[in-house]
Structure 1
Amino acid sequence: MVNIKGMIKSLFGGDTAALSEQQTDDQARIGQLKREFAEHPSKGLTPGRLYQILEAAEQGDLQAQSDLFEDMEEKDPQIGADLLKRRQLAAELEWQIIAPDNATAQEKKATEHANEVFSAMEVEDLVLDLGSGLGHGWANLELNWQRDGAIRYIEQPTLRPHSWFRLHPDDQNVLTLRDMSATGAELWPLGWVDHRHRARPGYVARSGLHRMLAWPYLFQNYALGDLAQLLEIYGMPARLGKYPKNATDKEKATLLRAVVSMGKDAAGIVPEGMAIEFLEAAQGRSDVYLAMMNWCERSKSRVILGGTLTSGTGEGTNTNALGNVHERGQTSLIRSDVRQYCSSIRKSILWPMAALNFGITHANRAPRFVLDMGETEDLQALATTLPVFVDMGANIPTWWLHEKTGIPKAGKDDEVLRPAPQAPMTAMLRQQPARPLAALRQSKGPATPADAIAARLAREGDPHIAGWLERIEAMLEAASSLEEFRKMLLAAQDDLDEDKLAELLGDGLSVADLAGRSDIEDVSESSNGR
């Protein structure tokens, strides 16, 4: 029986409170967090205010920065869509939980239990929640422990708002839960998935992508507001109202209402003695505002997806070729995200369950969570090059081949493909080429001396070859291995009668030589006769 309290204290450095309740249920200390509402600092945001928010986050107060980042994802379609795309690309991958290499019986049981637990979870939602760390640099999911007899397991983790947390004043890499204290409450061991996403280097407050997106977001809002004002007055003449020196405030207000109404109604009245002059129509160029907005859009796509052509904001030629390059860069980002998600899930979910239920005390022996990127090597290239390396003596493990090809390893009860049956070697040896004499008889053209020589060699040499084949076939059938067959061939080489065949080949070569000389003399005499 595993000593739960002793194991938690030695491995995770805390008590067992997280196994029976959630830390955010403490109404006395942090219950007010669930009653807080976002302050929406993006409203009326200015460069000065943005600088204050980012600076306060570096000093430990993350609330305003977290609320601002949430507003940016909600209000900016480009940021929201690109971040969702990057998170969704990881969340839709096929997942599996596998045992460590050379797993023991307990480690295999821990893997089976983890598969059962995750089969009951919404794993895609879990990965999407962890993906919120892309913008913030971190994400904290609270664990909900349950018990089935002696077995403890985790139900669907819950993502807690980023504004609930702050940085410890003495350590910028330590997140605490905001309460009424100056430092915040330390997160309970076994109570959280403390996911740190290294989207960019730096301390926790500065490691999220939103720190890079905040300024393009602000500049685009300014450009968009200026463009909206331009469109509102573009092409409309300026109106200038004139009132006499002794006009009262009421008369001035009447003139102002008339000037304003004439802008949209093209009609109005003014008291006698007052006048309205129409100046040149308002002019302006919208392309300067659009250029600024396009720069902001492209900057945000580069930050989130590593390029512009995978989000529809790219411009210029060679879009297809450059799009493929940008897509490969995006795949590299997703691969990095996946590794970080899998690491946090193994460290904060799989290892605690394996430790509490099966006594696995080392994190590297816990089951591994894997998101399959579906990246495989070229099968044709592997089939060509791999046998070469094997013949050279390289010791290549079979698991590497399965990983590179994406072909799953067959289980004990799985039917497997078998190589096609090959003809016995004795049958292959009997397959002799067509007889030259038979080819000569079938030929429609006149016979040449070379054809006659070849036919004679085949006719008189075949009996010798047939005798050799019979002996070789007998040795092949008697041999138990190729090595034994090789030794039998070497031993029988001296017994094979080669003299008769050598004599026959020598006669054939002599006749061929004479036939060649005769052809040359015939050609020479024919030429002289001409």
Structure 2
Amino acid sequence: MTQLVDQWGRPVRKRELTREVAGPSLTGVRSPLTGYPGDGLDPRRLANILREADEGHPERQLELAEAMEERDLHYVGVLGTRKRSVTQLDITVEDASSEVTDKRIAEELRTWLLRDELEEELFDILDSIGKGYSFTEIIWEQSAGQFWPVRLEARDPRWFRFDRRDLKTPILIGENGQDEPLPAYKFIHPRIRAKSGITPRSGICRAVTWAYLFKMYTLRDWAIFTQTYGQPLRVGKYPIGASEDDRNTLFRAVANIAGDCAAIMPEGMEIEFKETGNVGASVDLYESRADWLDKQVSKAVLGQTATTDAEVGGLGSGKEHRMVQEDIERADAKALSGALNRDLVRPWVDLNYRGHGRYPRIVIARPEAEDLAKWMQTVGEAVDRGLAVAEDDVYAKLGLRRPSEGAKILRPGGQNAPQAPGQPGAGDGNPPESAVKYPLNTLAALSAAVGRDDERGRSAGGTAPLDIAVDQLAEEAAPEIEAMLGQIEAMIAAAGSLEELREMMLGAFDEIPTETLAQVLGEAFTAMHLAGVAEVADEDDG
């Protein structure tokens, strides 16, 4: 028996699938406790952090990325918007084929996707948008020889490295600190890149770090400026000849008046408050710089600024910016779908249906707006020309359920009637009066003609009631007959011999719609009978 291997050629060890291999430990190297490289961050320190990541040690870069999401409200807002826009999209499953086994596999996958925890798990998987990559461990459960993913556990990316030879192949940091290859079929490992290059340099956080650093400088200077100039300057005046104790008393009063809002001093001393001029212009400078940096972050994360920075009007705003964001959303959704199909669906099928070789596909996408009226018109015309269309496909396209037994069926012109087997009027030939309407005018027209000739009369070459019945039958039945003839013509064109044409016609007999034609013929025969009776009576009278 051949050895089952993953996409990297690593052998699958089934005993490892049901246990956690990358969990945290307080005493080992995979500690959940984190460092804070963002404290006291300056350009030199930031450059060193990024250089370490380029050399295959991204731990401090990942810790800085976490700190940026915690401290920069704008960055965590736009990054969260981008992640949540994907987790809210519809998730569908495409069958590998129409075979029974493939349909069963796809249905098992659909059932698993109904889990309430899935949205939170997908949000954690999309941590790769900010950092460039993420690792999610699959915890499998085995029962009756079948494997089932019971949960997806997000793992700290600091517990993984990349092979120094290519900085691409992921490696797990073992309990003893030694690098270990990732066990096969155990991890979902998406890579959502903001730029091309080695994996540690591909995340958005790399581009945003410098904007974050400069924004922190701006906010710090803004805070110092506000503290210094937000209140007026206090100046204390003491009379000539004041003692040293009097001067010290005055100074303490001036120093503490901002916080205490109260002070005492000897009589004759005075305190003035000097307002600082041009404070407004200085405040605008800090705010403008912080806003400009936020806009650059919005462009990096969402590709535009109109949906986050409240810009009104201007070229390229509004709808165009939203279209840019939707382009990024589609790209993220395709990347996530691809990672799930590669790292979850394929292993699942290989473990339970070894050698099957066909896999269903998870598709995450926003439903495209579609003109259903135009679609129905096109399908109707195709069916009229002989194209076989499955009813299930039409129901699925329209988002409708197939009627259950006993359901009340809607009919044209508000003609609603129970049509399921066993219900009144269902195939017994005696439908209740309220359940049957006559949309066709055959019977009404022919009945009106019974007992009368046209204005000229038969002796003057008028039309007899029976002739009227024949003409009305031809008019009412023509569309149905034309549809049948169109389908027969399509069969004649496709058949290679008379024997093949015969088999095609016999096979399609049950699918030819005959309900409307049968109704027309029934009404016409009734009217013809009445017309014939009228003619006989007229002849007897003559």
User: Which residue number corresponds to residue 368 of structure 1?
Assistant: 361
**Pick from 6, 15, 18: which aligns with 2:16?**
18
RMSD: 4.9
Any conservation in 2 of the 1:66–1:136 contact (CA below 8 Å)?
yes
Q: Which has the higher helix share?
A: 1
Is the 2:125–2:134 Cα contact (8 Å) retained in structure 1?
Answer: yes
Cα distance in 1, alignment partners of residues 264 and 71 from structure 2: 42
SS in 2 for 1:157: strand
Deviation for aligned residue 1:304: 2.1
SS at match of 1:229: helix
Q: String of CA shifts for 1:310-368, please: whole Å, max 9, x gaps.
A: 22x2234379x933333333223222222222221222122212111122543xx2222
Q: Where does residue 284 of structure 2 map in the other structure?
A: 287
Q: Counterpart of 2:320?
A: 325
Give 2:154's aligned residue. 159
Residue 128 (structure 2) pairs with residue 133 (structure 1): yes
- Residue 377 of structure 1 corresponds to 370
Query: Does the 8 Å contact 1:236/1:263 carry over to 2?
Result: no
Deviation at 1:124, TM superposition (A): 0.7
Choose from 41, 44, 58 the match for 1:48.
Answer: 44
Give the equivalent residue in structure 2 for 1:90.
86
Which residue does the alignment assign to 1:185?
Answer: 180
**Distance in 2 between the 1:376 and 1:402 partners?**
17
Structure 1 distance, partners of 2:138, 2:406, is 37
- CA drift at 1:142: 0.9
**Structure 2 CA distance, aligned partners of 1:133 and 1:398?**
42
Match of 1:220? 215
Question: 2 CA distance for matches of 1:89 and 1:97?
Answer: 19
Is residue 353 of structure 1 aligned with residue 348 of structure 2?
A: yes
CA distance 1:480–1:411, shift in 2 (3 Å): closer
Q: Does the 8 Å contact 2:235/2:272 carry over to 1?
A: yes
Distance change (3 Å), C-alpha of 1:215 and 1:395: farther
Change in 2 beyond 3 A, CA 1:111/1:425: same
The answer for the alignment partner of 2:145 in structure 1 is 150
1:18, 1:141 → 2: CA distance? 15
Residue pair 1:476, 1:485 contacting (<8 A) in 2 also:
no
TM-score w.r.t. length of structure 2: 0.67
Q: Does the C-alpha gap of structure 1 residues 173 and 393 become closer, same or farther in structure 2, counting only changes over 3 Å? A: farther
Alpha-carbon distance, 1:389 to partner:
7.8
Q: Partners in 2 of 1:18 and 1:220 — Cα distance?
A: 46
Letter in 2 for 1:152: F
Query: What does residue 302 of structure 1 align with?
Result: 299
Q: CA deviation at 1:410?
A: 4.5
Contact 2:330 2:365 in 1 (8 A): no
Amino acid aligned to 2:313: T
In the TM superposition, residue 226 of structure 1 has moved relative to its aligned partner by 0.9
Aligned pairs for 1:167-316 (under 5 A) are 167-179=162-174, 184-234=179-229, 236-237=232-233, 281=276, 284=279, 285-311=282-308, 313-316=309-312
Note the alpha carbon deviations across 1:398-444, whole angstroms, 9 max, x for none: 898778x5636759989796662774484598699xxxxx9xxxxxx
User: What secondary structure does 2:363 align onto?
Assistant: strand
Return the match for 1:73 from 63, 69, 75.
Answer: 69
* Equivalent residue, structure 2, for 1:499: none
| Cα distance in structure 1, aligned partners of 2:350 and 2:329 | 30
CA distance in 2, matches of 1:477, 1:266: 98
Q: Does the 8 Å contact 1:213/1:303 carry over to 2? A: yes
RCO comparison, higher one (Cα < 8 Å, 6+): 1
Query: Using the alignment, how far apart are the partners of 2:138 and 2:29 within structure 1?
Result: 17
| Match of residue 463 from structure 1 | 463
Residues 479 and 144 (structure 1), Cα distance of their counterparts in 2 relative to 1, 3 Å cut: closer
The 3-state SS of whatever aligns with 1:95 is strand
Counterpart Cα distance in 2 of 1:203 and 1:396: 49
Deviation for aligned residue 1:68: 0.6
Give distance in 2, aligned partners of 1:409 and 1:31.
56
**Structure 2 residue identity aligned to 1:302:** K
How big is each residue's C-alpha offset from its partner over 1:15-52, in whole Å with a ceiling of 9 and x where there is no partner? Answer: 4153242222597xx97234352111111111222222
- Helix, strand or coil for the counterpart of 1:141? strand
Q: 2:23–2:155: 8 Å Cα contact kept in structure 1?
A: no
Q: Which amino acid aligns with 2:291?
A: N
Which residue of structure 2 aligns with residue 482 of structure 1?
A: 482
Contact 1:298–1:314, Cα closer than 8 Å, also in 2? no
Q: Structure 2 vs 1, CA of residues 226 and 355 (structure 1 numbering), >3 Å: closer, same or farther?
A: same
Q: Is this contact kept in 2: 1:98–1:368, CA < 8 A?
A: yes
Compute the displacement of 1:396 (Å). Answer: 9.0
Equivalent residues of 2:6, 2:184 under 8 A apart:
no
TM-aligned CA distance change 1:423 to 1:222, over 3 Å? same
Question: Which secondary structure does the structure 2 equivalent of 1:68 belong to?
Answer: helix
- One-letter amino acid of the structure 1 residue matched with residue 368 of structure 2: E
Q: Distance in 1 between matches of 2:287 and 2:134?
A: 35
**TM-score normalised over the length of structure 1:** 0.68
1:504 is matched with: none
Contact kept in structure 1, 2:311 and 2:317, CA below 8 Å: no
> Using the alignment, how far apart are the partners of 2:125 and 2:232 within structure 1?
51
8 Å contact kept, 1:165–1:175:
yes
Answer yes or no: is the 8 Å Cα contact 1:345–1:369 preserved in 2. Answer: yes
* Alignment-derived partner of residue 399 in structure 2: 407
User: Would you say the 8 A contact 1:143–1:192 is kept in 2?
Assistant: yes
Contact persistence 2:65–2:205 (CA under 8 A): yes
Cα distance in structure 2, aligned partners of 1:210 and 1:220: 14
1:246-270 CA-to-partner distances (Å, cap 9, x unmatched) read xxxxxxx999989865776799999
- The residue identity in structure 2 corresponding to 1:88 is R
Letter in 2 for 1:330: Q
Structure 2 residue identity aligned to 1:44: G
Contact 2:236 2:254 in 1 (8 A): yes
Q: Secondary structure at the match of 1:374?
A: coil
CA drift of 1:113 comes to 2.8
SS at match of 1:325: helix
Sequence identity (%): 23
